[in-house]
Amino acid sequence: MSKPACPMCEMADVLEHPEKWECVTCGHEWPRAAATEAAPAARIVKDAHGNVLADGDCVILIKDLKLGGSQVLKGGSKSKPIRLEDDDHEISCKVDGIAVGLKACFVKKA
């Protein structure tokens, strides 16, 4: 059986005790039965204002974002329908004809 990730900090450094799991990183403890019964929760992505985002939503940039070099996406630019990802950049979309990955903290729901 593989060790579960910590439900508090999501780190994989976990100690195995007879009746519980203990996170080495944050010290959180939880019962072993809860770890085996718990189903993976669906990831909830929220925009900068706390609105829940879903696949197919359109978003608006809340600030200018540099892409590299001299290319900039202007704040207020609206995206095409988004797709949520399980990466560091939660949103995959097109803004001004450019395919980009965005963090949810830089957008608001349109």
Q: Over the stretch 23-32, which tens digit does the pLDDT of each residue have?
A: 998 889 989 8
Residues of the chain with CATH 2.30.30.40: 45-109
Report the candidate in 75, 77, 78, 73 with the shortest Cα–Cα distance to residue 57: 78
Model pTM above 0.85 = no
Instruction: State whether the Cα torsion 77-83-89-94 is positive or negative.
Output: negative
Q: Is the pLDDT of residue 110 over 60?
A: yes
C-beta separation of 8 from 26 below 8 A: yes
Q: Over the stretch 22-63, which tens digit does the pLDDT of each residue have?
A: 999 888 998 987 544 545 567 789 999 999 999 999 999 999
Residues of the chain with CATH 2.20.25.10: 1-41
Give domain 45-109's CATH number out of 1.10.3720.10, 3.30.420.40, 3.90.950.20, 2.30.30.40. 2.30.30.40
C-beta separation of 53 from 59 below 8 A: yes
Which residues have a Cβ under 8 Å from the Cβ of 55 and sit 6 or more positions away? 81, 82, 83, 84
Supply the DSSP symbol for 39. Answer: P
CA gap 51, 28 in Å, rounded: 29
The more confidently predicted of residues 34 and 95 is 95
User: What CATH number belongs to 1-41?
Assistant: 2.20.25.10
Identity (one letter) of the amino acid at 80? K
Locate all alpha helices (DSSP H) within 43-94, ordered by sequence.
none
Vertex 85: Cα angle to 3 and 13 (nearest 5): 20
